[in-house]
Structure 1
Amino acid sequence: MKISPDALLKRLFDVAVAAADPMVCVPKHLPEKPPGRCLVIGAGKASARMAEALEAAWGPVDGLVITRDGYARPCAGIEVIEASHPVPDQRGLDATARLLELLEGLEDGDRVIALISGGASALLENPAGEISLEDLRKLNEDLLSSGAPIDQMNTVRKHVSRVKGGQLAAAAYPAHMTSLIVSDVAGDDPAFIASGPTVGDNTSSEDAKSILASNEIKIPKSIEEVLMAPTGVLPVGAPKLSQTENIIVAAPSLSLNAASELAEAEGIAVTLLGDAIEGEARDLAQEHASLALKVQAELSPGDKPRLLLSGGECTVTRRGDGIGGPNAEYALALALALNNQPGIYAIACDTDGVDGAADVAGARVSPQTLSKASENGVNAAAMLAGNDSHSFFDLIGDQIVTGPTLTNVNDFRAILIESV
């Protein structure tokens, strides 16, 4: 291995992010620019970069995309609007209303390109019924802190919206829509990426109510009234979806493969644990720590280092009022479980550069993590108990801060194991 463990792990993360850059992956899936009327719409953390890539290939095009604050890109024809994430705000609602207006009056023969990525669940929103922005924000906050997996959260989001669950595609019908999607969900099911605005869904409002009940989330009357009747979500195979083609252009597996190739070129043996791993972040960290210690115990002096790679989307059930995210919480729990074990290093980051609601990608772990905490008077176990993982790694100087990466293929975790 030619470079330090910390530097290698950061390079692996950078390579994973670069593999999902829309400037790389979008052009491969773009159709030829149609001669007639064509409109570009989109939403998500990667949508502005996707729009930039499309215009680099096609030239200026009319359209509008909605992205997270700080993720805008320069486009000649496509308007880029920033809004709040992970909880919706009025800017997102207003931008969504404008986007829907653009789709009005389209005809058979017109063409729509939809640029969809993770984050659109909050950015692309038109609440159903009489649901207020305040009620919608509270619902999203409760879902995010509940520990519910993303498919459950997005099932609920679909049934309280006028644009999710295929309803965006229906608004463009009978125009032909090509939806280019950057996946940030385990299993890459387009029905759950960004709450599936261009994809049919066979869940029901009863399913949404069951999810809310099982996670003990109380809802106001406005949401209760919407869920009392069938919502506007379109079932799979609905006629108004017949003109829509959904294409995944980037996914966690592609990024993990890119990181794996780099590690192998550095003389490291790679084990891919999976690109669709879900579960409570601290529980997964315990499992991975046990596996890493087992792998190290089987190494002999002079053996190649080993690398455990994984992707997916962890969740955090909030127990305290600290500042944290799934990747930082995983890293802190991993550090505690490894207990300063020599020869084991790790990185856990979100590929969009935002772990949870903080502008921090994630954190690194080394055999010195807990020692540095003790030297700075930081109680690692107490901070994990309070969901204060971002603060922990900030205090010891081991946060990973990238700024906007302009893409989003979910969590990236790598554990490097050397013989001792």
Structure 2
Amino acid sequence: MDPRALLGTLFRAALDAAGPEGRYAPLPSPPRGRTLVLGAGKAAARMAAAFEDAWEAHAGALPEGLVVTRRGHGAPTRAIEVAEASHPVPDAAGETAARRILALAAEAGPDDLVVFLMSGGASALLAAPAAGVSLGDKQAIGRALLRSGAPIDEMNRVRQALSAVKGGRLAAVAGARGAACVTWAISDVPGDAPAVIGSGPTVPLPEGEAPEAILARRGVALPDHLAEAMAANPAPALAPQDFRMLATPQMALEAAAAAARKAGLTPLILGDSLEGEAREVATVMAGIARQVLRHGQPAARPCVLLSGGETTVTVRGDGRGGRNAEFLLALALALGEDLAGGGIHALAADTDGIDGVETNAGAMIGPDTRARAATLGLNLRQQLDANDAFSAFEALGDLVTTGPTLTNVNDFRAILIP
């Protein structure tokens, strides 16, 4: 199979393993009262549609409820309302949806079942600021943290402290009158920690670094009124929650590995939770690829190096980026002549279909990437220094564009060494 087509096949296998269809099992017994579905995230609409089908077959009736997803990531549902809002920076639509979801949760009583559907992106989409915090405050803090290169767990710890819904607060509202609650999630975070997915609306974060300390370390100013709001917004005390996982990064990587074996390749899963600066992770990956080329370790050719997780980009230039495109551009540079000499191809993409804020999921490189760039007059080092990887791959015609996939198990990277 053509190497680029093969990489596409592996990516599709990963995406197929990341969907919610057929995974809502076992289901709880139908309640005497309502079955109320509340949710948020890039996969929320697809999760809601799949839950409707599963619940109708199980209980003989459709549930009701409201979920919020990123604009353009909606899916047809029959009874559950789908709202759309901005991501990664929250907007007024997200705040309105979050307030409505909180109000619905507050209505739940002892005869009701509340089903929470959570996936990556819920942190920004479920935007209900705590008392004393404005939406503008959350937007400013979020933008500053994004530009600082803060990883997802740090961002979520700060988001929880500024929120009326995150950090278990939504579950506390829903359970206040005795409603039964269950959460189903699609993980997009390293380690699949329930408290980190979507900033944990139904699960408080464990003890850790204080949000104020994170902001100070990242060089993000914290106004006095926000410090006061954080202090007045402690996480609720919650009983252990019924939390179930539908799909994870590891499940996606294992599906890609199975597809690789079928194609006659040896797959090596290097990790489902790799973090760090995209260009630094690329340097490490280039070193592993060279070890395969020169010594047949940790696997002999032909093989494919698979990894997941979420890299970060500290923005220093004014280009059009995306962490997966930046990773690939740095990988092409780090491999140097070994890219062509080893016949290496690679794909990196976000499983939600959007790399950063651009329209592509990611990109590809191949043995001829550097030569074609030179022919076009592209200086790849300058493109990387400007955080302008998107523009480089757009000029090369090597963007990977899927449109919204309606799921999200974070980044997928595959390096093919034939």
TM-score category, normalised to shorter length: over 0.9
Show the counterpart of 1:269: 266
TM-score, normalised relative to structure 2:
0.94
TM-score, normalised relative to structure 1:
0.93
Q: Secondary structure at the match of 2:107?
A: coil
The runs of at least 4 aligned residues of structure 1 exceeding 3 Å deviation read 28-35
Q: Distance in 1 between matches of 2:272 and 2:109?
A: 40
1:164 aligns with 2:163: no
CA shift for structure 1 position 107: 1.8
Q: Secondary structure at the match of 1:16?
A: helix
Show the counterpart of 2:129: 127
Q: What are the within-5 Å matches in structure 2 for residues 192-341 of structure 1?
A: 192-203=196-207, 207-227=210-230, 229-234=231-236, 238=237, 240-242=238-240, 244-299=241-296, 304-339=301-336, 340-341=339-340
Contact 2:91 2:127 in 1 (8 A): no
- Amino acid across the alignment from 1:47: A
- Amino acid across the alignment from 1:393: F
Show the counterpart of 2:115: 113
Contact 2:301 2:417 in 1 (8 A): no
Q: Distance in 2 between matches of 1:170 and 1:32?
A: 22
1:354 aligns with 2:354: yes
Contact 1:166 1:241 in 2 (8 A): no
- Amino acid across the alignment from 2:20: P
Q: 2:50 aligns with which of 43, 53, 57?
A: 53
Contact 1:55 1:61 in 2 (8 A): yes
Q: Distance in 1 between matches of 2:227 and 2:203?
A: 24
Q: Distance in 1 between matches of 2:223 and 2:329?
A: 36
1:15 aligns with 2:13: yes
Contact 1:61 1:76 in 2 (8 A): no
Q: Distance in 2 between matches of 1:29 and 1:386?
A: 50
CA shift for structure 1 position 200: 2.2
Aligned length: 406
- Structure 1 residues 24, 347: CA separation in 2 closer, same or farther (over 3 Å shift)? farther
CA shift for structure 1 position 241: 3.6
CA shift for structure 1 position 232: 3.2
CA shift for structure 1 position 230: 4.7
CA shift for structure 1 position 378: 1.2
- Amino acid across the alignment from 1:95: A
CA shift for structure 1 position 24: 4.0
Q: Secondary structure at the match of 1:113?
A: strand
Show the counterpart of 1:367: 367
Show the counterpart of 2:150: 148
CA shift for structure 1 position 29: 4.8
- Taking only aligned residues, the RMSD between alpha carbons, in angstroms, comes to 1.6
CA shift for structure 1 position 304: 4.3
Q: State the identity as a percent.
A: 49
CA shift for structure 1 position 187: 0.4
Show the counterpart of 2:59: none
Q: Secondary structure at the match of 1:22?
A: coil
Q: Distance in 2 between matches of 1:85 and 1:10?
A: 26
CA shift for structure 1 position 33: 3.9
CA shift for structure 1 position 198: 0.4
5+ residue gaps, structure 2: 57-61
Q: Secondary structure at the match of 1:67?
A: strand
Show the counterpart of 1:409: 409
Q: Distance in 2 between matches of 1:129 and 1:93?
A: 13
CA shift for structure 1 position 132: 1.7
Contact 1:267 1:304 in 2 (8 A): no
CA shift for structure 1 position 265: 1.0
5+ residue gaps, structure 1: none
CA shift for structure 1 position 114: 0.3
Q: Secondary structure at the match of 1:79?
A: strand
Show the counterpart of 1:93: 95
Q: Secondary structure at the match of 1:71?
A: coil
Q: Secondary structure at the match of 1:353?
A: coil
Q: 1:187 aligns with which of 185, 191, 204?
A: 191
- Amino acid across the alignment from 1:308: L
Q: Secondary structure at the match of 1:63?
A: strand
